Amino acid sequence: MKLLFYLLDTSYEVRDNRPVILIWGLTDSGDPVLILDDTFRPYFYVLPEDKVDLTTLATRVKTLSRPPSPITKVEMVERRYYGKPVKVLRVETVIPEFVREYREKIRKIEGVRDVLEADIRFAMRYIIDRSAIPCTWYEAEVEEVEEERRYRARVYRLLSGLKQAKRDLPPDLKVVAFDIEVYNPAGSPRPKHDPVIIIAAYDGREVKQFLAEESGKGIRDAGAIRSFVSYVKELDPDIIVGYNSNGFDWPYLLERAKINNVRLDVGRVKGAEPRSSAYGHISVPGRLNVDLYDFAQEIGEVKIKSLEEVADYLGVMKKDERVLIPWYRLYEYWDNEEKRRTLLRYSRDDVIATYGLSEKFLPFAIQLSALTGLPLDQVGAASVGYRLEWYLMREAFRFGELVPNRAERRAESYKGAIVLEPKKGVHENIAVLDFSSMYPNLMIKYNIGPDTFVEGECEEDECYVIPEVGYKFRKEPPGFFKNVLTTLLRLRKQVKSEMKKYPPDSPMYRLLNERQKALKVLANATYGYMGWSGARWYFRQGAEAVTALGRATIRMAIEIAKSLGLEVIYGDTDSLFVKYDKDRVEEFIRRVGEELELEIKIDKVYRRVFFTEAKKRYVGLLEDGRVDIVGFEAVRGDWTEIAKEVQEEVAKIVLSKGEVSEAINYVRKVIADLRAGKIDITKLVIWKTLTRPISQYTAEPPHVAAAKRLIKAGYKVEVGDKIGYVVVKGAGRISDRAVPYIMADPKDVDVEYYVKHQIIPAALRILRYFGVSEKALEGVGKARKTLLDFFGKR
C-alpha cells in the first residue's frame, strides 16, 4: 500500500543483530505511524596516503572484520576532499556501535591518512543519505506489521524508498505544554529531597493541574506524576513543549519518578522513558520534546530570559496581567492554604504562557528543522554552528564532498568587523542602514572557502587577492561554500517572491515567512562558522578574509555617503547610522548597489538616539515609541531586581520624554521608598551560584558566607545551588553582613548599601553621560531640565 505521511523524527534499534531505522510520522489525518526500514547499514570512508595501493589497503581492512559486526563490504569510490578528487575506500559493517572500534583500528594501518565520516550518528546518516528530512511530507510503499505491540502507533515496514510529496503545510500537530512547580524551603530545589507540588499541562483548550498529596509523612508527589503520565498517554501529543524543560523539568521529573518507583512512560515506545540525547536535549521516544528556552536565548532584545519576560516581550502574556511569584518563595504559597490558590493561578499562567510561546517559536523551528535535517527536538538545542554544519553535511553528500572530521583545536583570534567611533551626543531622525547578507554575498563574490584557498603563487587573472590580509582565492571553479551560499540565497529569494502570492494573514504566507527567516539565519552564520574552532570545515583564513572585505566595504560606503552630503553618525559591522534625508538616502542605496554590487536598505529610523563616546553603546527611541537599549544593560550576575528595574525605567524616561530631570526624580523616589521600607525585600536579594564545594573556596565571597550560615542553620547546600542573600547593617566586610534572605529581617537591611552599590550605579550607567552625578541622584544640587540641555541643543 502507498502511505502519505509527515516525517517527525528518526531513530534506530538493533534487532536480531541488525539495525532497524524507526521513522516516526503522522498521516494527513494526524494519526501517528511508525515505518521500519532494515535495509540501511553503517559505513565510513578510509582516506589513503598518496600513492598507496587501494587493493592492498582494502585487503588489510577486511582482515579486521569481527563476527559480532562483520565488515560486509569494502569498495573503492571516487569523492572530493576539500574540492580535490580523491579515491577512497567505503567500508560497511552491520552494527552502528562498531564503527568507532573499526575506525580506531583502521587508523593504525600503514598507508591510512585518515578515517572520515565515522563520527556521524547512524540515524542522522540515514537522514542525509536517504533524504529523510524531518518536518517534510513523504510517500512510500509500505506493508502493515500486525505483530508489533510495543509501539503506540500503527506500524509499517518500508518496501521502497521515500519520495517527497508535494505538500507544504504541516498536519494538525497536537502540542501540549507542561511546567512543574517544586517545594523548595531551602532555596534551590533538589530532587532527592524536594517533591514536585504541581505539574501543569495545557493543550490549547484546557489546563490540567496534578497536585502532590499531603499526609502525616509529608508531601507525596508519586500520585501527581502517575496522573501526568496517564494524561500524556491519553492525549497522545506529537510535540511536548516546556520552558527550560531540558535543563530543569525533565531531569527533575525523572529523578522524582525514580525515587517514587514510578515509570515516566510518556513516549510512543511502551516502557521507554525520556533520556538525555544530542546537544543536551531530552529525547521522548516517538514524540518531539521542544525546549522553547533554546529559542528564547536567541532574542537579543530580551536581556533577562525568564518565561514572564519573554512572554511579555512577544505579546503572549503581559507581566501586569499575570500572577508573579519569586521562585524561591513557592513553598510559602504551598504551605499557606489561602496563598495556595494564588500559586495555582501562577502555575496556570506559566503553562499557558509556555503554550503561547510555542505558537511563536514552532513555525520557525519547523522550517529550520526541514532545512538543516536536524529533528525538531534537537534543532533548538543545537548551536547555530551545529545547525549550519548539518546543512553543510547534507550538501556535501549531494556534491560528493567528503565531510572532514571534527578536531580538537585552540580558538584563534582574528581582526573582526569595523566599528566606528560614534558621534557623541543626542541625534534626531537617524536612519539605520543595513547591508543585506553582506558576508554571504562577499563570500560568493570572492569565492571564499577552504577548497579555493591558494597558499603559493597565483596569476592575477586567476585569483582574488583580499585587501589588507593578502589572502588569495581561486576565481574558478566555484568552491563548496560558494555553491552552498548561492543555493541558500537563491532559495530565500524564491521564497520571498512566492510570499507575494498570498495574503499576509494566510497559513502559506506565514509558513513561507518562517522559511525565509531560516534560510537567512543559515546563510548569515556561514562566515562565523569558518572561524569557530569546533567546525568541521574550520578555516580561520576565510573568516579573516571576510571581515577584511567587510571593513573595506563599510569604508567605501562611508565615502559614498560623504560624497552625497549624508552625515554618518555611527557604523557597526554591516550597518551605518546616518542623518535621515529621504532623497539622499535613496541615492545612497542606489549607488551602493551599483558601485559595490551589494544591497543596502533602511532597517529602522530613530526619532531620537544618544551615543556615548563608547562603541556599541547607545539608546534609541523608535518611531513607534519603543526604546532600544544597547550596551548599557545590567549584565552583572549580582545585580538585584530593583537595580535592573531602575536602569530600564531611566532609559525609557530619558529617551521617550527627553526629561533628564524626570529620570533623576524617579531615581530619588526609588531611593526614598527604599529608605522608607516600601520596597519588598525580595527585590533586594543578590543571587550567586556555588561553583565548587564550600571547602575549596580560598577566599570567602558574600554568597559563600551566606551558604555557611545556611549550613549552620541546618539547610543542605550543594554545588550548583543558587544562594540568595541580602546585605544587613553592621561593621566589617560585605561577607560578614551577607545573610540568607530567608533568615533576614527586612528591618535589618543595610539600605545605604543598596543605594550606593545597586540603585545609583545602575542609573548612572546611563545618566552619567548627561552630566548627572551621584550627588544629584542623592538629592544634592540641581539637575538641568531636559536631555537636550546637556548637549547644547537649546
Residue with cell 598507508: 111
Phi, psi of 271 (to 5 degrees): 85, -15
Residue 306 makes CB contacts below 8 A (sequence gap 6+) with: none
- What is the CB neighbour count within 10 angstroms for residue 441? 21
Looking at residue 422, its pLDDT comes to 87
Predicted local confidence at residue 785, as pLDDT: 46
What confidence score (pLDDT) does residue 627 get?
Answer: 74
Print burial letters for 689-727: b (CB count within 10 Å at least 16), e (below 16).
ebeeeeeebeeebbbbbbbbbbeeeebebeeebebbbbb
Residue 686 phi, psi (nearest 5): -105, 125
The pLDDT value given to residue 238: 98
pLDDT score for 175: 98
Q: What is the mean pLDDT, run by run of 10 residues, along the chain of 794 residues?
A: 97 94 97 97 97 95 96 97 96 97 96 97 96 97 88 95 93 97 86 95 98 90 98 98 95 97 97 91 96 90 82 93 90 94 98 97 96 95 94 96 92 80 86 92 96 90 93 95 95 94 92 93 92 94 94 94 94 91 95 94 89 78 78 65 87 81 93 93 88 90 92 80 90 93 90 94 86 83 50 44
Parallel, antiparallel, or unpaired: how do β-strands 618-622 and 600-611 relate?
Answer: antiparallel
What sign does the dihedral 298-302-308-314 (CA atoms) show? negative
pTM of the model as a whole = 0.84
DSSP H helical ranges for 112-160 = 122-129
Angle between helices 480-499 and 507-530 (to 10 degrees): 160
Cα 655 from Cα 163, distance rounded (Å): 56
Distance (Å, whole) CA 47 – CA 112: 6
186 contacts 250 by C-beta, under 8 angstroms: no
Would you say the C-alpha torsion 71, 75, 79, 82 has a positive or negative sign? Answer: positive
Residue 328's φ and ψ, nearest 5 degrees, are -80, 0
> How far apart (Å, rounded) are the C-alpha atoms in residues 306 and 296?
9
Selection from 44, 62, 177, 77 nearest residue 109 by Cα: 62
How many other CB atoms are found less than 10 A from the CB of residue 423?
Answer: 14
DSSP H or E stretch at residue 473: strand 472-474
What pLDDT does 378 receive? 95
Cα(504)–Cα(501) distance, integer angstroms? 9
Rounded CA-CA distance 126/121 in Å is 9
Exposure string of 401-415, with b = 16+ CB inside 10 Å and e = fewer, is bbbbeeeeeeeeeee
**C-alpha to C-alpha distance for 655 and 200, rounded to whole angstroms:** 41
- Rounded Cα distance between 542 and 452, Å, is 10
Q: Are 435 and 574 in contact (CB under 8 A)?
A: yes
The runs of H, that is alpha helices, within 47-175 are 54-62, 98-107, 122-129
Contacts of range 55-64, beta carbons closer than 8 Å, 24 or more positions apart: 56/111, 57/89, 57/109, 57/111, 57/112, 58/89, 60/109, 61/89, 61/91, 61/106, 61/109, 64/102, 64/105, 64/106
Closest CA to 370 of 528, 165, 142, 535: 165
Residue 412 Cα to chain centre, angstroms:
23
State how far the Cα of 89 lies from the Cα of 55, in Å rounded to an integer: 9
| Dist. CA 412–CA 543, nearest whole Å | 11
Question: Which amino acid type is present at position 440?
Answer: P
Place of cell 589513503: 48
Q: How far apart (Å, rounded) are the C-alpha atoms in residues 530 and 731?
A: 54
| Beta-carbon contacts of residue 269 (< 8 Å; ≥ 6 apart) | 150, 151, 152, 285, 286
37 SS3 class: strand
| All residues at 6 or more sequence positions from 337 whose CB lies less than 8 Å from its CB, including other chains | none
**CB under 8 Å to 419, separation ≥6 — which residues?**
571, 572, 573, 615, 616
What pLDDT, on the 0 to 100 scale, is given for residue 486? 95
How far apart CA 151 and CA 77 sit, in angstroms, is 39
> The cell 519588598 sits on which residue?
680
Residue 327 half-sphere exposure toward CB, CA atoms < 13 A: 14
* Environment class of 296 (CB within 10 Å of its CB; exposed 0-12, middle 13-18, buried 19+): buried
Distance CA 334, CA 344 (A): 9
Return the sign of the alpha-carbon dihedral for residues 394, 400, 401, 404: positive
Residue with cell 598507496: 52
